[in-house]
Structure 1
Amino acid sequence: MKKERLYEKLEDYKRASKRLDEAIKLEIHHDIIYDAVIQRFEFTFELSWKLMKMFLEYVGVSEIKSPRATIREAFTYGLIEDGDEWIDMMIDRNKTSHIYNEEEAKLIYMKIKNRYNDLFKQLADKIEKEINNI
């Protein structure tokens, strides 16, 4: 894999993260805003763990097959600072795609707004620095 491919994946991830950030800033006049934020969160999460996996494979960490394993390796490597919060994020992402409960959706929305969005931004910054240093 070439370094340019990592940059491309990073740019895709940053675009998705920016779109999530834009959705979070919308005032909630209708429940559809919750749905939009959650859908963008799902997409951004998928790109985040795949970006981490690609980066880790690029630097020689192989045999990563799942989001959970990727998060663990990313924490060990130092790409993310709080592995437990990323695991919580993964669990919430799984909840949003398998069940729909309005109260649960609103709780997850608040986590996205108050914490997960920052974790996504931190990951982008960290991976960009790491790629530049390779």
Structure 2
Amino acid sequence: MKTLPLTCEKCFADFQEALEELKYVISNAKVKGFNAKSEAQIVRAFELTHELTLKTITEFFRNQGHGGFTGSRDLTVEAFHEDLIDDGQGWLDMIILRIKYNPIYPENTQNELVNRIIKQFVNLFENFERNMVKRLS
């Protein structure tokens, strides 16, 4: 069976769905209380949302004729220069914290990641969403 090539619009729609899921998981945890399971769900939803963000940006640049990015940092820097994201340092912090996070390592890294997801990273995703809606219109 043939698979259809990814489009920026399809990647963006997948990102939006993942962002809604992330916000739902966070609000559910706030209502029911935070525990190891809810924090793990938040981290998984966040990682999916971030990956789909990067896919969306990659496809956006591919459509623009840009390419050759060697990793998420290069892609993030270019997205900042193209005004797809508005807080370059916040996005780079997101990447660094994801690299540092490993579920088998100390709990304080997971706590820091969950706190940053709730307090900062969801806002960064929402700003990206607003910027992409403008760019794709």
TM-score of the superposition, structure 2-length normalised? 0.87
Could you tell me how far apart the structure 1 residues matched to 2:70 and 2:113 are? Answer: 26
Distance of aligned partners of 1:31 and 1:80 in 2 relative to their CA distance in 1, 3 Å threshold: same
State whether residues 20 and 44 of structure 1, in contact with CA within 8 Å, keep that contact through their aligned partners in structure 2: yes
Alignment of 1:6-25 (within 5 A): 6-25=8-27
Query: Which shows bigger deviation, 16-25 or 55-64?
Result: 55-64
Asked if 1:105 is matched to 2:107, the reply is no
Letter in 1 for 2:72: P
For residue 95 of structure 1, report the CA deviation from its aligned partner: 2.1
Shift of 1:100: 2.9
Name the structure, 1 or 2, with higher relative contact order (CA <8 Å, separation 6+). Answer: 1
- 1:43 equivalenced with 2:45 (yes/no): no
For structure 2, list consecutive stretches of 5 or more residues without a partner in the other structure: 1-5
Distance in 1, matches of 2:129 and 2:18, equals 11
Tell me the TM-score normalised to structure 1 length: 0.88
**What amino acid sits opposite 1:92 in the alignment?**
L
Q: Does 1:130 align with 2:135?
A: yes
State the identity as a percent.
26
Q: Deviations over 1:33-76 (max 9, x none)?
A: 11110111111111111211111121122211311110010011
Give the RMSD, CA atoms, in angstroms.
1.6
What are the ranges of 5 or more consecutive residues in structure 1 without an aligned counterpart? none
